[in-house]
Each structure stands twice: as structure tokens, then as C-alpha cells.
Structure 1
Amino acid sequence: MRRRTLIQLAGLSGLGVRPAWGQELKPMQISTLSELDPATRIAELIITEAYRRLGIQAVVHKLPGERSLRSANNGEMDGELYRRLGMELDYPNLLIVPVPLLTYEIVIFSRGTNFVVNGWESLRPYTIGFVKSIKIVEKNTQGMKVEVANSLRQAFLKMMLGRSDVVVANRASGLAVLRELNLTEIKVLTPPLASFPVFHYLNSKHAALVPKLTTVLQQMQKDKSIENFQKTVMSELDGYLAPPVDLSVPGSV
């Protein structure tokens, strides 16, 4: 035990995180979405490595979307693995670690339904499948015809049964599920509906860790660790589907 603690102290000396003598830093309990998702895998690899460099073990727990956020916000969990900018507005006990982990793309998956993608309003004539508790999709499809699913796998199967025309989801997540189900006829329409960076969040009781994690993640940017994790995971999906269908209006956002 003492030898293990000494190893941890040696590893932490350059980053200013020092446990009390004879004690080990407690593992950090991190919540995230339960959905099968390469984006989650990328974030998990990055954050696990960042904590490792601080001499801390990170344990990731997969929970339903809303429960994951509530657990991190109320302190039941120590943090949220990754979310978009601004989550602290609705969950005030969450503190952002201001280094992006990856870029999250919300796209339209289609099985033969082709149309010009010109923002969220272009979805209005169609029945839209998506996973409940994905807040950006819920917000931007209010008043439209929707078919909510408990999982992305279920959303795609509903589309195959004709209960929805399209599925709106994170690109990487969708490609992984389509690969699992071997649904090669489904295409991605472009451009994305939204594209934004995602960040790690900590419960406010761990405020002292925010600058330390920021420093480590910046180091991981410089040494290409973050980029390498992204490439490793995404290379497994490249080329799985036919090229995306681009029916966008020139110059549209």
C-alpha cells in the first residue's frame, strides 16, 4: 500500500495534486449516457487518461440521460463525462473543464427519404425519431411530429417499421448502431443540423480539480493524445456506410 502511494505522489508532483501522507486519492465516480456511443468511448478514454496523469482513478457509470445529469449535479456522482457548453445554466452545481474533448455532430439518418437540409425547420414535414432526454433534439423539434425511443437502436428499428421517416442523432452514435444492426441502406444527410464541442463537467465540490484537469487536458492536446484517441475509435466506423447525401442549400447553416 505504501509503495503504491509513493508511486502516486511521484506522478503528481509536477501537477500540484497531493493526497495526505499515507492516504490514496479516492476514485472519481463519473456519470454518462447509457447509449452505445463512440463519442462516449472517446471521451471516456480521454478523461480516464487525464485523471490517471493526476494519480486518480476514474470510474465511469452509464445512466439514462436525465439521471446522469441529476446525479452529477446533486453530488451523487463526482462529475459528468461530457456535455455541451452551457449545462451549468440548468444544473448550477456543475463546473465546466474548459478544454473540448471532441466535436459532437447532430445529423439526420434517412432510409430513402431525401430532402434539402436547411436547419431544423426542414424536418417539419416528417416524423422524426430520436432518443428521449437528448435535450438539443427535444428543444428543436417542439411542435413537430416525433417518435420518441428509449434507445438509438429502438429508434432505427422504428424507422425500419415505418413509424418514422428519419432519425436524428449524433453521427458517431448512429454509425455504431447501424453497424451493429447491419443496416447499410440507411444514409446520413448533410449538412449536420448542429455541430458543437463537448466538455467534461465536475460537481462544484471538486472545484479545486478544475484547473488541474484543464492543465492536463491542454498537455494532452499538445502531445496529440486526444487526437489519437479520436482517430482510433472513429477509424472503426469509417467507410461503413455509403457516402453522405448532400442536398443542402448552398450557403445554408
Structure 2
Amino acid sequence: MSNALADSLPEISIGSTQSPSELSSLIEQRLQLAYQQLGYQPIFLPLPSERRLRLVRSQALDADLFRLCDLQNAYPDILMIPVPLGDFTLKAYALSSKTLENWQNNPRLIVVHIRGFKMAEQTHFAGKRLEVASLEQAFGLLQQKRADIVLEDEPSATAYLATATDWSEGSWYAAALNSMAVCHILGSHLQHLAEPLQQLLSQPNP
């Protein structure tokens, strides 16, 4: 689609991650093609995870790039497009491999993750939970030894650590916890787009 034609389409506002990765970029590309086929131009807005969900629920934002596919069970006021767009593996990151040994049963550990990150919120552990606004803050606390564990999905953490100048390969350790599928969500005011989006996203190349 030409830029001129795309610019003339009505816009759809989509909350996107503030921790971009190769997978999130691929999901954005896939959604852009699907929305343009339906006659809309998606505008991706990087926002904190918790705020994205809140804005979609209040219809101040049209859609969210992705959420756990089972999220609609907890939030019936959003529309989940039931097509998995990828799998995210949750990992625990630490400064030493010893810290990761049986860490979920250690009540002395401080475990940090981004506020509103559902995969981490659903993870149970004996230590103290600390929520922050960004990966920079989370890994900063880890580096300063003010936290013992960072919980983050592998694509986002890998992308962040690869570009962070104060983290070098081998200066951190990680352990995989679980893997969950993510799906695109819409605000309830866009119910008319749910079925056609599902059909397009179900195709290999929407």
C-alpha cells in the first residue's frame, strides 16, 4: 500500500510495548497489514503495560498490541482476537546462577518486574515483590543489588540487554519459567472488527 493511500485511511490507535523486540516488531507488521486490508491505518503508541490495558478498557485506546490469550477471562470488557500471535517465555534473571537455585521458595529475595506485566503477576514466589515502570529500572535495581531477581519475557529482556551499554554478555544468568501465547485485543467499541481481524490473522500472511 502506498504511503499516500495509507495516510488517507482512518486511524486505529494501538498501545504497543515500551520494550520492543524482534517478536513485537513482527506482530506490529502483521497487524499493520491486517488493519490496512480492512481499511484502517494503525498507529502504534509505546505505553506502559498497565496503562495500555486501562486505556483499552476505557475505550480511550482502540487496541493493545498483545496480551496473554487467556486475559479476557479476567476482563470481559475487552475483545480478545483468538489467534495466537506468538509465544513468550518468562525468565528469571539474576547476577549469579546460585541466586536462581530454588529462588521461588526463598523468602529473602527481592523480585522485581514491570507493573502490569501479567505473566510475572501470575508467578508465585515466597520473596518480596517489587513493581517498576520500565526494564531500565528493573535491571538497574538488579545491577545495584537492590533486587535479586528480574522477571521478564525473553524477547524483551534479550533486546534490552543487547543494547544496554552497562550489561555485557556473561554478566547475568537466566532460568526459564513458562511459556504463554499472546493475542491481539480490541476495545469493546470495535466489535465489528473482531471477526474480520480473526479471519485475516488466521491466514499465514494476512
State the secondary structure of the residue aligned to 2:81. Answer: strand
Q: Which residue does the alignment assign to 1:234?
A: none
State the secondary structure of the residue aligned to 2:55. Answer: helix
Give the length in aligned residue pairs. Answer: 200
Shift of 1:34: 2.7
Specify the code of the residue in structure 1 equivalent to 2:197.
L
Counterpart CA distance in 1 for 2:171 and 2:129 is: 19
Counterpart CA distance in 2 for 1:81 and 1:123 is: 34
Shift of 1:113: 3.2
Is 1:200 the counterpart of 2:200 in the alignment? no
Counterpart CA distance in 2 for 1:172 and 1:95 is: 25
Match of 2:104 among 121, 125, 146: 121
- TM-score (structure 2 length as normaliser): 0.83
Counterpart CA distance in 2 for 1:123 and 1:46 is: 41
- 8 Å CA contact 2:68–2:118 kept in 1: the answer is no
Shift of 1:42: 2.6
Question: Residues 117 and 107 (structure 1 numbering): CA distance in 2 closer, same or farther, change over 3 Å?
Answer: farther
Superposed, 1:137-216 pairs within 5 Å as 137-141=120-124, 144-182=127-165, 183=167, 184-190=169-175, 192-216=176-200
Q: Which residue does the alignment assign to 1:101?
A: 85
Cα offsets for 1:107-144 (capped at 9, x unmatched): 011222336667x8356553222222213323424652
Q: Which residue does the alignment assign to 1:136?
A: 119
Specify the code of the residue in structure 2 equivalent to 1:42.
L
Superposed, 1:62-77 pairs within 5 Å as 62-77=46-61
Q: Which runs of 4+ in 1 moved over 4 A?
A: 115-118, 122-125
State the secondary structure of the residue aligned to 1:140. Answer: coil
Match of 1:45 among 29, 32, 39: 29
Is 1:56 the counterpart of 2:40 in the alignment? yes
Counterpart CA distance in 2 for 1:122 and 1:38 is: 33
- 8 Å CA contact 1:104–1:195 kept in 2: the answer is yes
Identity %: 25
- 8 Å CA contact 1:116–1:122 kept in 2: the answer is no
Shift of 1:58: 0.6
Q: Which residue does the alignment assign to 1:34?
A: 18
Question: Residues 40 and 140 (structure 1 numbering): CA distance in 2 closer, same or farther, change over 3 Å?
Answer: same
Higher relative contact order (CA 8 A, sep 6+): 2
Specify the code of the residue in structure 1 equivalent to 2:186.
L
Instruction: Name which one, 1 or 2, has greater alpha-carbon Rg.
Output: 1
Counterpart CA distance in 1 for 2:16 and 2:122 is: 20
- 8 Å CA contact 2:15–2:52 kept in 1: the answer is yes
Counterpart CA distance in 1 for 2:149 and 2:54 is: 30
- 8 Å CA contact 1:33–1:65 kept in 2: the answer is yes
Question: Residues 65 and 123 (structure 1 numbering): CA distance in 2 closer, same or farther, change over 3 Å?
Answer: farther
- 8 Å CA contact 2:92–2:177 kept in 1: the answer is yes
- TM-score (structure 1 length as normaliser): 0.69
Structure 1: state its 5+ residue gaps.
9-23, 226-253
- 8 Å CA contact 2:20–2:156 kept in 1: the answer is yes
Structure 2: state its 5+ residue gaps.
none
